[in-house]
């Protein structure tokens, strides 16, 4: 019996050590789990339409690549923060919709994505980069409509920026959150219930930002989204009852923008500002 108890004790200690090592690995390497950038060569041509301009924003230790649809007389601007994979070559594809709405479109790539240099190494750095990209274009749109748009990963960043601008007395006219999570910590807990919530260095708590916003909020979610369930948008709606929630029947996570209901709702909302 003593031998069996000793063996079980050794196995328990080994399992505990393995668990601790796995948590330490997740702490130090979580950027590899959260962010899936696809780099592009420096000479890759991103801007292929005459009214789309490729720009750069200098941030500490890196250069951000930005695409900017510039119309002759825009009603305003949509500042778009994309999801956690790919780059601008795959994300900057809906220019016809924004031309129809009469809005410029500004979209940055995060560090390491596309032609942006450097790499993401902390939440504060990511937050500051988003703000730097916005500040680089904001003066052009003084007196015009401002729309902050976040998709998937970008929803928490867009809500954070919207709160910053609200606190500074310059709230966006509209914040659009497509396929949002209530918080990245809650999303991670659903996928990895065995991982302590405090381990996540990127909480991105969308639900904490929403009640503090002024201006309109539109939540859009695919009814068949298997990556971020529609219940996340429903939680956000409870946090900000004045927001509007559109659930697009049949849409998943990656094809939401292809559905006519989504496109019609976005055009109608932009047109009503």
Listed by start position, the domains of the chain span 1-34, 38-271
Residue range 124-147: mean pLDDT, rounded: 97
Give me the residues paired with residue 178 across strands: 151, 220
Q: Which of 25-34, 236-245, 260-269 has the lowest mean pLDDT?
A: 25-34
Residues listed for the chain = 273
| CATH class for the domain made up of 38-271 | alpha beta
Q: Residue 224 — very low, low, confident or very high, per pLDDT cuts 50/70/90?
A: very high
Distances (CA, A) of 43 to 40, 89, 114, 132: 8, 13, 11, 24
- Please give the residue that has the higher pLDDT: either 191 or 160: 160
Average pLDDT, rounded, for the chain = 90
What are the phi and psi torsion angles at 246 (to 5°)? Answer: -115, 115
Q: How confident is the model at residue 100 (pLDDT cuts 50, 70, 90)?
A: very high
In this model, does residue 138 exceed pLDDT 60? yes
Cα distance between residue 169 and residue 229, in whole Å? 33
The two three-digit tokens of residue 87, written as one number = 């780059």
């Amino acid at each position: 019996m003593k031998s069996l108890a000793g063996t079980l004790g050794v196995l328990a200690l080994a399992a505990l050590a393995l668990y601790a090592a796995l948590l330490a690995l997740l702490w130090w390497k979580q950027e590899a789990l959260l962010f899936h950038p696809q780099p592009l060569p420096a000479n890759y041509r991103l801007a292929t339409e005459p009214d789309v301009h490729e720009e750069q924003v200098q941030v500490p230790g890196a250069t951000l690549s930005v695409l900017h649809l510039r119309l002759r007389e825009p009603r305003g601007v949509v500042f778009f923060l994309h999801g956690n994979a790919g780059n601008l070559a795959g994300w900057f594809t809906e220019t016809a919709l924004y031309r129809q709405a009469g809005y410029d479109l500004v979209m940055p790539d995060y560090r390491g994505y596309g032609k942006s240099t450097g790499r993401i190494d902390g939440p504060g750095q990511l937050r500051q980069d988003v703000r730097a990209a916005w500040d680089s274009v904001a003066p052009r749109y003084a007196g015009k409509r401002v729309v902050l748009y976040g998709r998937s990963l970008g929803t928490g960043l867009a809500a954070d920026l919207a709160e910053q601008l609200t606190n500074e007395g310059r709230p966006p006219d509209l914040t659009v959150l497509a396929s949002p999570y209530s918080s990245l910590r809650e999303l991670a807990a659903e996928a990895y219930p065995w991982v302590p919530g405090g381990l996540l260095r990127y909480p991105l708590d969308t639900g904490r930002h929403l009640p503090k916003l002024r201006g309109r909020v539109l939540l859009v979610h695919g009814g068949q989204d298997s990556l971020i369930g529609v219940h996340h948008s429903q939680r956000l709606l409870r946090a900000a009852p004045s927001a509007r929630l559109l659930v697009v029947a049949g849409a998943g996570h990656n094809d939401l923008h292809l559905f006519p209901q989504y496109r019609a709702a976005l055009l109608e909302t932009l047109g009503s500002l």
